[in-house]
Amino acid sequence: MLLAIDTGNTQTVLGLIRDGEILRSWRITSDGTRTEDELWVYVRLLCHDAGISIPDIKRTVISSVVPQMNAGLRDMSREYLKTDPLFVTPSLPFRHNFLEGRFQTLGADRICNMYAGLTAYPLPQIIIDFGTATTVDVLGPGGKYLGGSIAPGIRTSSANLFRAAAQLHGIAMEFPEHVIGTDTSSQLRSGILWGAVDQTDGMVRRISRETGLTFSTVLSTGGLAEMVSSRSETITITIPDLTLKGLTAIADEFIPES
């Protein structure tokens, strides 16, 4: 059994994987002040809820973009699970040498997303993650990482707007009936959601023009991926658990089954 942990800026996803299949996954708030003992309480309770025996967990792999949580995750794994966790970093000697020793500050979550795409879907690829930030990563025909872009996430930018504008308030994240809104709520929803769709499609088209490539695979993942993908003209596949799939592929490469 593999415990895969994806620690993002806002939430941490814990997944239990057996034979490449994600059995269960849960989300908790990412909090850099949590100790290894507190993290252990979450893992123990979640495993109990799933009917999973703790001794069955033989491997732990971690993607983290919150350095303050790393020590607690490492110590929890070592002390309570008796496993030495693998942290995903750009310096790992990947079998698919897609980074070619460059991009040493690339986030672990983006590495996992690309590894999941690289090992399962046709190239070239664009991978879009709708998280706290919206990241775009590009893999060329041979699997080489060409680069990408980072923008404020949909919820992040919306929350900043609501804080800065006294007369604007939170909205339900659902598409309005028409692009041209007739009240403040529908106008906000149109601008935020249709704006995100057109930003996505626009970036994909710009990347295609700049590279001269036709992308057979445009993957999306993250909290609002399904919503944006439902209206996008360029996204081909949406995989909510793409990062966990990447963590699984990396664990299988670097941590032998015991």
Output the domain CATH number for residue 202: 3.30.420.40
């909090």: which residue's tokens?
A: 31
Q: How many other C-beta atoms can be found within 10 angstroms of the C-beta atom of residue 21?
A: 8
Same domain for 147 and 73? no
Same domain, 55 and 12: yes
Domain assignment present for residue 100? The answer is no
Look at residue 127 and tell me whether its pLDDT is greater than 80: yes
Question: What integer pLDDT is reported at residue 28 of this predicted model?
Answer: 94
Same domain, 136 and 234: yes
Tell me which DSSP letter residue 142 carries. Answer: T
- The confidence score (pLDDT) of residue 153 equals 94
Q: What pLDDT, on the 0 to 100 scale, is given for residue 255?
A: 92
Which segment of 27-36, 128-137, 170-179 scores lowest on mean pLDDT?
Answer: 170-179
Decide if 251 is inside a domain.
no
pLDDT at residue 167 above 80? Answer: no
Distance CA 171, CA 188 (A): 8
Tell me what pLDDT residue 169 has: 81
- Average pLDDT across the chain, whole number: 94
pLDDT at position 231, please?
96
pLDDT of residue 95: 87
CA distance 177 to 78: 52
* 130 and 226, same domain (yes or no): yes
Among 202, 186, 192, CA closest to 227: 192
Q: Which residues contact 101 (CB under 8 A, 6 or more apart)?
A: none
Share of the chain above pLDDT 70, in %: 100
| Alpha helices (runs of H) in 86-153, residue ranges in sequence order | 108-120
Query: Which among 37, 68, 87 is the end of a domain?
Result: 87
Question: Which sequence positions are flagged as catalytic?
Answer: 109
Tell whether the model's pLDDT for residue 208 goes beyond 80.
yes
Do 132 and 222 lie in one domain? The reply is yes
Say whether both 49 and 134 belong to one domain: no
- Say whether the peptide bond before residue 124 is cis (omega within 30 degrees of 0): yes
**Percentage of residues in the chain having pLDDT higher than 90:** 83
Looking at per-residue confidence, does 27 or 257 come out higher?
A: 27
Residues 145 and 43 in one domain: no
- Please indicate, yes or no, if residue 52 is contained in any of the structural domains: yes
Residue 115 lies in a domain: no
Query: How many domains does the chain divide into?
Result: 2
Decide if pLDDT at 258 tops 70: no
Sequence-distant (6+) residues with CB within 8 A of 164 are: none
For residues 169 and 228, state if they share a domain.
yes
Per-residue confidence (pLDDT) for residue 96, from 0 to 100: 86
Is 13:243 a contact under the CB 8 Å cutoff? yes
Task: Report the side by side order of strands in the sheet with 237-238.
Answer: 145-152, 133-139, 125-130, 217-222, 237-238
Residue 230 has pLDDT above 70, yes or no: yes
Shared-domain flag, residues 131 and 34: no
Confidence of residue 257 (pLDDT cuts 50, 70, 90): confident
E strand spans, the chain: 2-7, 11-18, 21-29, 59-64, 86-87, 125-130, 133-139, 145-152, 217-222, 237-238
Please indicate, yes or no, whether residues 130 and 214 belong to a single structural domain of this protein: yes
Domain presence at residue 111 = no
Q: How confident is the model at residue 162 (pLDDT cuts 50, 70, 90)?
A: confident
Q: Say if residue 24 is in the same domain as residue 78.
A: yes
Considering the domain boundaries, does residue 114 fall inside one?
no
Residue 252 lies in a domain: no
Q: Are residues 70 and 21 in the same domain?
A: yes
Averaged over 98-111, what is the pLDDT?
90
Does residue 116 belong to any structural domain of this protein? no
pTM over 0.85: yes
Strands (DSSP E) contained in 67-216 are 86-87, 125-130, 133-139, 145-152
Range of the domain at 9: 2-87
Overall average pLDDT of the 76-91 stretch:
96
Segment 4-27 shows an average pLDDT of 94
Token digits for 178? 């028409």
Give CA–CA dist 92/40, Å, rounded.
27
State the burial class of residue 165 (Cβ atoms within 10 Å of its Cβ: 0-12, 13-18, 19+). Answer: exposed
Q: Cβ–Cβ contacts within 10 Å for residue 50, how many?
A: 12
Q: How confident is the model at residue 97 (pLDDT cuts 50, 70, 90)?
A: confident
